[in-house]
Amino acid sequence: MTKVFDVIKKDTGSSARRGVLHTAHGDVQTPVFMPVGTCGTVKAMSQAELLEMDAQIILGNTYHLNLRPGMEILSKAGGLHKFMNWPRPILTDSGGFQVFSLSKLGKITPEGMHFQSHIDGTRLFMGPKESMAIQRIIGSDIAMAFDECTAWPATHAEAEKSLDLTLRWAEQCLLQPRADGQLRFGIAQGSVFPDLRERAVRELSAMEFEGLAIGGVSVGEPEADMLKVLDWLEPHLPQEKPHYLMGVGTPRQIVEGVMRGVDMFDCVLPTRMARNGSAYLPTGTIPIKAAAYKEDFTPIMEGCQCYTCRNFTKAYIRHLLNCNEILGARLMTIHNLHFYLQLAQDIRTHLEEGTFMDFARQVIALYPENFGSERCAP
């Protein structure tokens, strides 16, 4: 079997590593930030713009794509890559988190979850078989195993019961057929309990998954608890496989994750915050809609090479946002995504040059703790 992941350099001052993930639609340089394209589009962005800013891989979501446009359309289109005209890799979330958020409208069984559509209330069912079948039709390069996202806070007994189900479903996911060249990642749950988290990683590492994801974080717990989970898991993560921290996060959290051996990140924060009028800087976010920027004829961020900052001022973008002009949201999104993708590029460069820890300390010192760390998954 062709090797899926190569570690090409390790940091001497932390568990960070510079790697390459090999997929059917090309190599992904890690650590990597993956823009979220829930319904087959990264909100407010064209595919050409994503390619121009060198987005290496984007996300789609099994739950949302199954509802709209539906598997009949995607099958006739030849899969999501052709449907949305995206030439690079795609990772699909299994839909577990979305179903988890709708679980109050249904019930969990050993076979899967009964729930209601958020669109029209239609009663639906999804389990490991259904999730993997949908992801096979989508044709994603990386398919996530169907899991139960453990709620926070949870008791040890509740978290253990949830983990038991997730591990059972992981085994069933591996029994399902997959698209040609499709990789599969298992998801480690276990809430904030070290014994459960370590058990999850140990058992999933023994299964035939090509990668390992850390789920059940950024669901309401303090940032300090998320970092504790990563500290517990770091010694147990399989070194030959890529590590993916799901739904995380802020620039500070991404750097903290890389220090603890994480290779892949996704988050809706850059696009969501953009639509709400907040722009990312190394020191946090600023509210471009605010009156303070009415006569500010400087770019969002001095020295930023994104299209927005090279061509427009805060005053103009504020005007667009306050007039509800679509271009305002687009220009903000271009800047925020460029900021995140540039952060990942800077991390890779510093890892290659052996200066990562100095860079990491600088980011952590500048960026506020727990700043904008709401749940980041779609």
If phi > 0 it is left, if psi is from -120 to 50 it is alpha, else beta; for residue 298 that is beta
If phi > 0 it is left, if psi is from -120 to 50 it is alpha, else beta; for residue 370 that is left
Which DSSP state fits 298? S
* Cα–Cα distance, 284 to 280 (Å, whole number): 6
Q: Which of 128, 126, 130 has its CA nearest to residue 117?
A: 126
- The residue ranking higher by pLDDT, 117 or 295, is 295
What integer pLDDT is reported at residue 234 of this predicted model? 97
With contact defined as beta carbons under 8 Å apart, do 132 and 80 qualify? no
Question: For the chain, where are the alpha helices, taking DSSP H only?
Answer: 47-52, 62-67, 71-77, 80-84, 96-101, 128-138, 156-174, 194-206, 223-233, 251-259, 269-275, 307-311, 314-322, 326-353, 356-366
For the beta carbon of residue 326, count every other beta carbon within 10 angstroms: 9
What integer pLDDT is reported at residue 376 of this predicted model? 47
Using a 10 angstrom Cβ sphere, with 0-12 exposed, 13-18 middle and 19 or more buried, the burial of residue 106 is: middle
- The residue ranking higher by pLDDT, 113 or 317, is 317
Buried-state track 110-137, b at ≥16 Cβ within 10 A, e below 16: eebbbbeeeeeeeebebbbbbbbbbbbb
CA 330 to chain centroid, in Å, comes to 20
What integer pLDDT is reported at residue 105 of this predicted model? 59
Note the pLDDT tens digit of each residue in 48-59.
Answer: 999 999 999 999
Tokens describing residue 46: 């064209």
Buried-state track 265-304, b at ≥16 Cβ within 10 A, e below 16: bbbbbbbbbbbebbbbbeebbbebbeeebeebeebbbeeb
Domain ranges of the chain: 5-267, 274-366
Note the pLDDT tens digit of each residue in 136-150.
Answer: 999 999 999 999 988
Active site residues: 93, 266
For the beta carbon of residue 342, count every other beta carbon within 10 angstroms: 16
Give me the amino acid identity at 205. S
Q: Which of 338, 336, 337, 343 has its CA nearest to residue 251?
A: 343
> Given a cut of 50, is residue 290 above it in pLDDT?
yes
Q: Say what the pTM is.
A: 0.96
Note the pLDDT tens digit of each residue in 18-31.
Answer: 999 999 999 999 99
* Cα–Cα distance, 337 to 25 (Å, whole number): 22
Q: Which of 62, 271, 102 has its CA nearest to residue 187?
A: 62
Q: What angle do CA 323, 324, 325 make, to 5 degrees?
A: 90
With contact defined as beta carbons under 8 Å apart, do 216 and 190 qualify? yes
What integer pLDDT is reported at residue 377 of this predicted model? 44
β-pair partners for 243: 212
What integer pLDDT is reported at residue 363 of this predicted model? 98
pLDDT-based confidence at residue 99 (cuts at 50, 70, 90): confident
Top CATH class of 5-267 equals alpha beta
Which DSSP state fits 343? H
Note the pLDDT tens digit of each residue in 262-282.
Answer: 999 999 999 999 999 999 999
* Cα–Cα distance, 167 to 174 (Å, whole number): 11
What integer pLDDT is reported at residue 218 of this predicted model? 85
120 to each of 2, 28, 301, how far by Cα in Å?
44, 38, 42
pLDDT-based confidence at residue 36 (cuts at 50, 70, 90): very high
What integer pLDDT is reported at residue 266 of this predicted model? 98
What integer pLDDT is reported at residue 263 of this predicted model? 99
> Given a cut of 90, is residue 75 above it in pLDDT?
yes
pLDDT average, residue stretch 143-172: 95
Note the pLDDT tens digit of each residue in 201-242.
Answer: 999 999 999 999 999 998 888 999 999 999 999 999 999 999
For the beta carbon of residue 374, count every other beta carbon within 10 angstroms: 15
220 to each of 158, 334, 376, how far by Cα in Å?
17, 28, 10
Tokens describing residue 170: 């992981």
